[in-house]
Amino acid sequence: MSTHDITVTINGAMTSANVESRRSLADFLRHDVGLVGTHIGCEQGACGACTVLIGGRSVRSCIMFAVQADGADIQTVESLAPGAEMHPLQEAFRRHQGLQCGFCTPGMLLRSLELINDNPDLTAEEAREGISSNMCRCTGYQYIVDAVLDAAAEMRAEEG
């Protein structure tokens, strides 16, 4: 079956690879690039664990082929804390216990980041509606909403 040369930017770094057509973007990130922060849940686009940002927009990487992402600017959860310090969103999730098992967390973080980037002043209602795209089977939605609002406040303050 056919393979394709692709070049993508992942968390700011250019990467080239040769991928099989059927390779999902999620599997490409995990197996070929070694970025295993992107989780794979349902493999049919329903759960949102595999969410990544492309050009700043959330997409399901399990129902996108890597070859479709050729030329794209991809951001994975690993980009949030490149060093030892956690991102304000991650810190807020920890503080508010916005995670239990952690499986949905990478997707939740990136979707939340998109929501805050779109609207730094988002309300609880908007946060709740916004993360309704992602499933948390520990049923921790309330704490996630608290964390998103707190992180948004902190990020507004940092922006000054």
SS (H, E, C) the chain: CCEEEEEEEECCEEEEEEEECCCEHHHHHHHHCCCCCCCCCCCCCCCCCCEEEECCEEEEHHHCEHHHHCCCEEECHHHHCCCCCCCHHHHHHHHCCCCCCCCCHHHHHHHHHHHHHHCCCCCHHHHHHHHHHCCCCCCCHHHHHHHHHHHHHHHHHHHC
Contact with another protein (CB under 8 A): which of 8, 29, 38, 48? 48
Q: Does 46 bind ligand FAD (CB under 6 A)?
A: yes
Q: Does 57 bind another protein (CB under 8 A)?
A: yes
Q: Which stretch binds another protein (CB under 8 A): 7-15, 52-60, 88-96, 149-157?
A: 52-60
Q: Does 59 bind another protein (CB under 8 A)?
A: yes
User: Looking only at residues 111 through 150 of this chain, which bind another protein when binding is defined by CB under 8 A?
Assistant: 111, 130, 132-133
Q: Which is nearer to another protein, 57 or 95 (CB)?
A: 57
Contact with another protein (CB under 8 A): which of 29, 64, 89, 104? 64
User: Looking only at residues 27 through 46 of this chain, which bind another protein when binding is defined by CB under 8 A?
Assistant: 27, 43-45
Q: Does 68 bind another protein (CB under 8 A)?
A: yes
Q: Does 37 bind ligand FAD (CB under 6 A)?
A: no
Cα Rg of the chain (Å, integer): 16
Q: Which stretch binds another protein (CB under 8 A): 19-27, 75-83, 85-93, 150-158?
A: 19-27
- Phi and psi at 153, nearest 5°, equal -60, -45
Binding site for ligand FAD (CB under 6 A): 45-46, 63
